[in-house]
Amino acid sequence: MIEQKTYLGNPLLKSAYVPQNFSEEQVEEYIKCQQDPLYFVNKHVKIVSVDEGLIEFDVRDYQKDMINRFHNERFVICKMARQSGKSTTILAYLLHYILFNENVSVAVLANKKATAMELLGRLQLAYEHMPKWLQQGILIWNKGNIELENGSKILASSTSGSAIFQFIGHKSQIEMKNGNRKLFGILLNDNFNKSLNVHFLVVLIRLFQQINSCRCRLRILFFNTKDWMYIKNQLRNIPM
């Protein structure tokens, strides 16, 4: 039987559990990428420009600050203007996170599942254009879900979907047993259902209170200051 080295015939993706031979230069590069997410994003993450097509991600100073904070801080909330590359930055970091950490779970959330799937699609595009030797083998790859051979996975869902609550509840039980790190990237777009998302955030906060002893990380990304001020005021009125 011929060994299948690509995932379902996609020449840009490596199949799971395929042996990989590394050169000395590739080993050195892999270690650099693993240790420094900013180096990885600058060197190996590609994005789509409206004017130029597929290009390298030229990270700006404020985006460098975002990535460093994501990597070094446990809780991060970003209050930023529209169209400033927030989603692209956090997706680039999430790509690094799932590649170089085993058995971590990431949720990419938006007010509509189609929006969350579009965000996941951008991450998938960047993944496909990385060198094969830098990739993890693929177990599951579709518009709403990715699972890698290192046990890490990403789910795209709406904040109103029951799938994400099942995902969080199931993973939190594993989290308390083995102490692995978890990262949630919550991307709320401009016209989100404020009431729904306030209560959703309360569920997440309660979850993190329950597993506070574990090394968990929560990323919440608001698209403008007005939305953050609204939610902050609403959270004050809801018993935790």
Q: What is the pTM of this model?
A: 0.74
How many CA atoms, within 13 angstroms, populate the side-chain half-sphere of residue 177? 6
- 43-79: per-residue pLDDT in tens? 999 998 888 889 999 999 999 999 998 888 877 777 7
pLDDT of 167 reads 56
Nearest to 154 by CA among 193, 194, 116, 105: 105
SS3 136: coil
Report residue 202's pLDDT band, with 50, 70 and 90 as the boundaries: low
Report residue 198's pLDDT band, with 50, 70 and 90 as the boundaries: low
Nearest to 140 by CA among 127, 159, 158: 127
| pLDDT beyond 80 at 192 | no
Q: How far apart are CA 172 and CA 167, in angstroms?
A: 8
CATH of domain 22-236: 3.40.50.300
Q: What mean pLDDT value characterizes the chain?
A: 76
Checking phi first, is residue 23 left (phi over 0); if not, alpha (psi -120 to 50) or beta? beta
Domain boundaries, the chain: 22-236
Mention every residue, 6+ apart, whose C-beta is less than 8 A from residue 173.
none
